[in-house]
Chains A and B, each alone.
Chain A
Amino acid sequence: MSIVIEHMTKSFDGTQVLRGIDLTIASGELVALLGPSGSGKTTLLKIIAGLEWPDAGGLAVHGADWLHLAAQDRRIGFVFQHYALFPHMSVRDNIAFGLTVRPRAQRPGKAAIAAKVAQLLEFLQIAHLGDRYPAQLSGGQRQRVALGRALAIEPTVLLLDEPFGALDAAVRRDLRAWLRQVHDETGSTTIFVTHDQEEAFELADRVVVMGEGRIEQIGNADQIHDHPASPFVARFMGATIELPVALHAGRAQAPGLDASRLPHRALPDGPATLFLRPADVTPLIDPAGRWQIAHRSSNGALLRLELTDGAQRFGIDLPRRAPEAQGLVPGARVNLRPEAGTIFPGPRALPLPAAAPALPRKEKSL
């Protein structure tokens, strides 16, 4: 089912959580809403589910206006961050809930429900857990039950709120691959919310990066990684180094900076800011270099150097065994050669998107 969201706004107690969202999701697509906490991604998901209502805007699914439909009538599968399994019901009864709660006329027979549940338990690889209670399950097992409960009603749209947030790393990787498989086999349109880039890029067809209630960029991993659309996305994608540069004929210039590896940019001359990831910078030893190594640490594979030019201090990473890592000792001076980076016009300390509150707002977990 295609989902079309238009000009959607929402505020809680005077704080704008969504500032005009326009998004179209194709039928059968797997989309991630990626952003830091307070970016509005969970609110957007809950509005699609019918658990929150926008102040303005449109939401149409497969041509039908969903803002006039109660959550009960949207037939969505929603998987909550902390699973929200019914504690007094067995796994079997949890999964059957969406079927047993239907009005008598539309309710499948007892045998049909039991068969459906058995089939889902099998599909979710938890057939042996049918008679357990949620408190007796591990986090990963609860997640599977929560997904099974959502899938039992054969939802038109599957929505997942931080589906792997509460799990440890190994289980997370496991479930990620499995969720992709579930999505492909059920053919549903799936949207999930996450703050984990790796998760978003690995799992989703398309990633929607959100910040401060706006969509900052939509794309796949390579597009967003290589061409961040805004300083916000660049920062969120790990570009922690922001160097003031001057643009001349599409080239960045700054003392001590060898910008030869950076592509020309069709930007007007003037002050600009170069956003760099710590791993995309090569230090070049030069006794008259602009930066001095203030601190050096190693995790065995990577060296981390803290550099300072007196005004600004930042860290860069490079492989410990790389030839250019020789002689990088505290006190040595270096110049820098960025291997990749993004330039945004305007001086440094570019403000975050306008009217951003200073503190990230704690996401309302309703």
Chain B
Amino acid sequence: MTAAAIKPRRVLPGFSLSLGTTLLYVGLVILIPVAALMLKGAEIGPARFWAIVTAPRTLAALRVTLTAAALATIFNALYGLLMAWVLTRYDFPGRRILDALMDIPFALPTAVAGISLTALFSANGWFGAPLAGAGIELVYTLGGVVLAMTFTSIPFVVRAIQPVLEDLDPALEQAAMTLGARPWAIFRRVVLPAILPAWLAGSTVAFARSLGEFGAVVFIAGNLPFKTEIAALLAFIRLEEYDYQGAAAIALVLLIFALVLLAVSNLIQFRAARHLEPR
């Protein structure tokens, strides 16, 4: 008599169904559009692709986008860190409200953000008028582009740091205190190493998001070619002109930037997790 092999059963049912649905969704909504864009780009051929990408107007648009996104990210990295610190370390009336306000850029349609920012900062707006008096003009300048990008990408930084800061064991800082560390040394040597991966990763995602920001930027930027025209808008303009290849080439450049940044963000987090997991 031979015993029948025992087939192990999963305790949690529905694995194949749920995984299948997930994969189908990822395929349809994420991978196929990206692949289509890649294919479209490949159709163009390297010579033509290079010609489109290095055209003066494209280069100018990419420069504006990258510069503005970089400036917005630097600002958000610093301000986002401060914001996350305030939200996790202090208890004050209205903290929950402030915490909830942080999500507004996520929830607000970006076009609405763009229109309100334009209204506020235009030459006769609430903020624009005094700024104009001081000789600072934001609307229809690179500054406006930076402003719009800052607005829409700040939550990425705050929400990346916040949970790490909340989970940080207060005993670590107390231990550093008893060992003679002053507040700045505690921050630099104990707190910062703990939040650095999340901070960099959050800033990287904020940068990626700024690169692709469209709705909020187009209203405030003025969209002057070679001055305040961003790459995403240029791709849109090419599409309007039925220049599918031109649109695809510019979009592909943005896509490559975004993918590289996401890879960097993941690498940062992976490297940071090295020491924290038992071998």
Q: Does A201 have its Cβ within 8 Å of any Cβ on chain B?
A: no
Contacting residues, chain A, for B277 (C-beta < 8 A): 135
Do A80 and B175 have beta carbons less than 8 Å apart?
Answer: yes
Q: A72-B181, A88-B193 are in contact. Are A97 and B176 (CB under 8 A)?
A: yes
> Whole-angstrom distance between the alpha carbons of A80 and B169 in the complex?
11
Do B182 and A72 have beta carbons less than 8 Å apart?
Answer: yes
Identify which of A74, A80, A82, A87 contacts B275 (C-beta below 8 A): A87
> Whole-angstrom distance between the alpha carbons of A88 and B177 in the complex?
17
Q: Does A133 have its Cβ within 8 Å of any Cβ on chain B?
A: yes
B189-207 interface (Cβ within 8 A of A): 189-190, 193-194
Q: Closest CB of chain B to A332's CB: distance in Å? A: 51
Contacting residues, chain A, for B189 (C-beta < 8 A): 86, 97, 101
Q: Does B10 have its Cβ within 8 Å of any Cβ on chain A?
A: no
Interface of A is mostly: loop
Contacting residues, chain B, for A82 (C-beta < 8 A): 169, 171
CB closest chain-A residue, reference B174: A51
Q: Does B279 have its Cβ within 8 Å of any Cβ on chain A?
A: yes
> Whole-angstrom distance between the alpha carbons of A248 and B190 in the complex?
66
> Whole-angstrom distance between the alpha carbons of A98 and B182 in the complex?
11
Do B278 and A136 have beta carbons less than 8 Å apart?
Answer: yes
Q: Closest CB of chain B to A135's CB: distance in Å? A: 5
Q: Does B180 have its Cβ within 8 Å of any Cβ on chain A?
A: yes
Q: Closest CB of chain A to B96's CB: distance in Å? A: 20
Do B178 and A135 have beta carbons less than 8 Å apart?
Answer: no
Do B275 and A76 have beta carbons less than 8 Å apart?
Answer: no
Do B181 and A84 have beta carbons less than 8 Å apart?
Answer: no
Q: Does A359 have its Cβ within 8 Å of any Cβ on chain B?
A: no
Identify which of A75, A149, A366 contacts B170 (C-beta below 8 A): A366
> Whole-angstrom distance between the alpha carbons of A366 and B172 in the complex?
10
Do B171 and A80 have beta carbons less than 8 Å apart?
Answer: yes
Do A86 and B180 have beta carbons less than 8 Å apart?
Answer: no
Do B174 and A98 have beta carbons less than 8 Å apart?
Answer: no
Q: A84-B172, A87-B275, A135-B276 are in contact. Are A76 and B178 (CB under 8 A)?
A: yes
Contacting residues, chain B, for A75 (C-beta < 8 A): 180
A residues near B (Cβ < 8 Å) are 49-51, 70-78, 80-82, 84-88, 97-98, 101-102, 133, 135-136, 149-150, 153, 365-366
